[in-house]
C-alpha cells in the first residue's frame, strides 16, 4: 500500500471538514493534528488546504471536462482527492507528479472509494500530461481573456465588484484573493522585535502603520513571544481600525483633547482591536462584548493582562440596554468577510447573495444599539471586513436616516492626527486619504492597499 504523507492526510481531512460547512480552515490549521506535524509537513498541509480552497472553482473547471460524465455528482472524498492532485500538478513545481497522483489515488481508496480510484488516476494523469507544472504567477498575471484568478471567484461577486469598482480594480481584488497575504505582527513592546530577530525571524516595516512589522521569513507562531502574546499576528488594516477608534477618543473638538473614561467594544473577539484600545487608552474602562461563550473564554484569556479595566461580557451587542453609558463605541460587526478571501478562502464557497440582507439587518441592529449606548457627543466607529455596500454604506445611511440625532463625520482629520502623532507612516497616510469616500468613510480595497479589505465610518451622537 503506497504511503500517504502526514501533510496530505491532514489536508484531505481538513478539506472534507470545511466542505461539510461545520469548520473554518484557519481553526483546523491551528488544531493539534497540524501543530503536531514537523515543520515541512505543517507548511505543506497549510499550502495544500489554502491553495485548494482559493483555486477550487478554477480546479473544478479543469477537472470536469476530463470526466467521462462531466456533470456526474462525485462523492466529497473523490472530488477532494482530485482537487488536491490537480492543485499540486498545477501549482507546486517541487512536488513530483507521481507523488501528487499516487497519493491522491490512495486517499481515494482509503476513504472507501476503491471503485473511483481508477478514474482519479486517469484524470490526474491526463491533467498532468496536458498542463504540466504551471506557475502560479502565470495564472495570476494572464493578460488576455478572463484570468484564472477571476475564474476562481464566484461569478456573482465578480460582477458586483466590476460594477462597483471597475474591471481593473476587480482584477486586483481577485489577484489578492488568490495570494497568501503577508503576515504582519504587532509587539507588546519594542524589545520583542530584537527577541524575534535572535529567533531567526526577519521583519520589515509595515506600509501603513509605524507599529506594524511584516514577516519576511521565519515562523513567528513557533516563538515564545507569540505563544505568550507579546507578539500578535494582525493584519495592518485591522490594526488601523483599532488606531482610528483610539484616535476618535483623543481629538474631538479641533485641538481640545478629551480623555475617554468608558469605551465599548461591541463585537470584541478575537480581541486584537480591544488590545489596541487598552494600550492607547491607559486610564479607560473598557467593556468588551462577545455573544459566543467559547469565543468569550478565548477573549478573556487574551485580555487577562488588562482584567482590572477590561470587562469581558457575554452579551449580544444588538441587545445592549445601556443608554448614554459610553464615550466611544467600536462596532466591528460580524460580516460576509469578502475583504478577506485571501486569508479565509472558504468564504467564497459558502456565501450567497441572499445572505447579504440578513447580515445587514443584524449589522443595523448592532449599530443602532451601540449609538444608543454612547453619550451625547460620543462617537461610534463602525467597521466591517466586507466589500459589499449592503453591509457598509447602506447600513450607515439607513441608521442616519432613522435617527436625526446622529451624523457621519469624515475620517480625514483622524488620518491627519494619526500621521502627526507618528502612528501612520507618511506614505501610508497619503494612500489612505485616497481611500476616503465622498462621505468621509474609509474603503480599503485588497490589492489596491496593502491589507485585507475593510470599511470604516465614524458617526457622532449629537444628543
- Cα(359)–Cα(197) distance, integer angstroms: 42
Do residue 44 and residue 112 come from a single domain?
yes
Find the mean pLDDT for residues 254-265: 70
Find the mean pLDDT for residues 397-420: 96
In tens, the pLDDT along 299-335 reads 999 999 999 999 999 999 999 988 899 999 999 999 9
Do residue 257 and residue 369 come from a single domain?
yes
Q: Residue 225's domain spans which residues?
A: 184-233
Number of domains in the chain: 3
In tens, the pLDDT along 9-36 reads 999 999 999 999 878 999 999 899 998 9
In tens, the pLDDT along 337-395 reads 999 999 999 999 999 999 999 999 999 999 999 999 999 999 999 999 999 999 999 99
Q: Is residue 146 part of a domain?
A: no
Do residue 266 and residue 364 come from a single domain?
yes
Helix (H, G, I), strand (E, B) or coil at 379: strand
- Which uninterrupted H or E stretch holds 23? none
* Domain harbouring 342, CATH code: 3.40.50.150
Comparing 243 with 39, the larger pLDDT belongs to 243
pTM for this structure?
0.93
CB 321 within 8 A of CB 293: no
Q: By mean pLDDT, which of 141-150, 185-194, 322-331, 363-372 is the weakest?
A: 141-150
Comparing 12 with 2, the larger pLDDT belongs to 12
Do residue 199 and residue 259 come from a single domain?
no
C-alpha dist (Å) from residue 128 to 98, 109, 207, 268, 442: 10, 20, 40, 47, 45
Q: Is residue 348 part of a domain?
A: yes
pLDDT of residue 69: 93
- Cα(79)–Cα(64) distance, integer angstroms: 10
- Which uninterrupted H or E stretch holds 456? strand 454-461
CB 178 within 8 A of CB 342: yes
pLDDT of residue 374: 96
Contact partners, residue 58, CB within 8 Å, separation at least 6: 139, 148, 151, 152
pLDDT of residue 251: 47
CB 290 within 8 A of CB 296: yes
- 304: alpha, beta or left? (left if phi > 0; alpha if psi -120 to 50): alpha
Do residue 221 and residue 320 come from a single domain?
no
* Domain harbouring 125, CATH code: 1.10.940.10
pLDDT of residue 22: 74
Q: Is residue 175 part of a domain?
A: no
Residue from 363, 365, 374 nearest 248 by CA? 374
C-alpha dist (Å) from residue 260 to 370, 407, 456, 461: 16, 20, 20, 15
- The owner of cell 473614561 is 261
Number of Cβ within a 10 Å radius of residue 16 = 16
Do residue 280 and residue 407 come from a single domain?
yes
Q: Is residue 19 part of a domain?
A: yes
* Average pLDDT taken over every residue of the chain: 92
- Which uninterrupted H or E stretch holds 374? strand 374-384
Do residue 256 and residue 199 come from a single domain?
no
CB 419 within 8 A of CB 406: no
pLDDT of residue 138: 55
Task: Take residue 246 and report the three cell numbers written for it.
Answer: 483610539
- Which of 211, 233, 255 is a domain's end point? 233
- Which uninterrupted H or E stretch holds 461? strand 454-461
* Domain harbouring 229, CATH code: 3.30.70
Do residue 192 and residue 206 come from a single domain?
yes
- Cα(399)–Cα(264) distance, integer angstroms: 19
Amino acid at each position: 500500500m503506497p504511503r500517504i504523507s502526514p501533510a496530505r492526510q491532514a489536508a484531505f481531512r481538513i478539506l472534507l471538514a470545511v466542505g461539510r460547512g461545520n469548520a473554518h480552515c484557519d481553526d483546523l490549521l491551528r488544531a493539534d493534528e497540524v501543530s503536531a506535524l514537523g515543520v515541512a509537513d505543517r507548511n505543506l498541509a497549510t499550502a495544500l488546504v489554502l491553495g485548494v480552497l482559493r483555486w477550487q472553482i478554477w480546479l473544478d473547471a479543469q477537472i470536469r471536462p476530463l470526466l467521462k460524465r462531466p456533470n456526474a455528482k462525485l462523492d466529497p472524498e473523490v472530488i477532494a482527492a482530485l482537487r488536491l492532485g490537480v492543485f499540486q500538478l498545477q501549482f507546486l513545481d517541487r512536488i513530483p507528479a507521481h507523488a501528487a497522483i499516487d497519493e491522491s489515488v490512495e486517499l481515494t481508496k482509503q476513504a472507501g472509494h476503491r471503485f473511483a480510484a481508477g478514474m482519479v488516476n486517469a484524470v490526474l494523469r491526463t491533467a498532468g500530461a496536458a498542463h504540466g507544472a504551471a506557475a502560479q504567477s502565470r495564472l495570476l498575471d494572464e493578460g488576455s481573456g478572463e484570468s484564472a484568478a477571476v475564474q476562481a471567484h464566484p461569478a456573482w461577486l465578480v460582477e458586483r465588484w466590476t460594477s462597483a469598482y471597475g474591471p481593473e480594480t476587480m482584477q486586483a481584488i481577485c489577484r489578492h484573493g488568490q495570494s497568501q497575504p503577508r503576515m504582519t505582527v504587532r509587539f507588546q513592546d519594542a524589545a520583542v522585535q530584537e527577541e524575534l530577530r535572535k529567533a531567526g525571524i526577519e521583519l520589515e516595516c509595515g506600509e501603513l502603520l509605524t507599529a506594524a512589522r511584516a514577516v519576511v521569513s521565519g515562523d513567528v507562531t513557533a516563538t515564545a513571544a507569540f505563544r505568550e502574546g507579546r507578539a500578535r499576528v494582525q493584519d495592518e488594516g485591522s490594526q488601523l481600525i483599532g488606531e482610528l477608534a483610539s484616535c476618535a477618543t483623543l481629538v474631538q473638538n479641533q485641538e481640545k483633547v478629551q480623555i475617554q473614561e468608558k469605551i465599548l467594544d461591541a463585537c470584541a473577539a478575537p480581541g486584537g482591536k480591544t488590545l489596541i484600545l487598552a494600550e492607547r487608552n491607559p486610564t479607560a474602562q473598557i467593556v468588551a462584548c462577545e455573544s459566543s461563550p467559547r469565543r468569550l473564554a478565548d477573549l478573556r484569556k487574551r485580555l487577562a493582562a488588562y482584567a482590572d479595566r477590561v470587562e469581558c461580557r457575554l452579551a449580544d451587542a444588538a441587545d445592549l440596554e445601556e443608554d448614554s453609558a459610553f464615550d466611544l463605541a467600536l462596532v466591528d460587526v460580524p460580516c460576509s468577510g469578502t475583504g478577506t478571501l485571501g486569508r479565509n478562502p472558504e468564504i467564497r464557497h459558502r456565501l450567497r447573495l441572499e445572505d447579504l440582507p440578513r447580515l445587514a439587518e443584524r449589522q443595523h441592529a448592532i449599530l443602532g444599539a451601540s449609538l444608543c449606548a454612547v453619550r451625547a457627543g460620543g462617537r461610534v466607529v463602525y467597521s466591517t471586513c466586507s466589500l459589499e455596500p449592503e453591509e457598509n454604506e447602506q447600513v450607515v445611511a439607513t441608521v442616519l436616516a432613522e435617527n436625526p440625532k446622529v451624523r457621519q463625520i469624515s475620517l480625514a482629520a483622524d488620518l491627519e492626527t494619526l500621521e502627526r502623532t507618528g502612528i501612520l507612516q507618511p506614505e501610508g497616510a497619503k494612500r489612505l486619504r485616497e481611500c476616503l469616500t465622498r462621505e468621509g468613510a474609509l474603503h480599503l480595497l485588497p490589492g489596491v492597499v496593502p491589507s485585507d479589505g475593510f470599511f470604516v465610518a465614524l458617526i457622532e451622537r449629537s444628543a
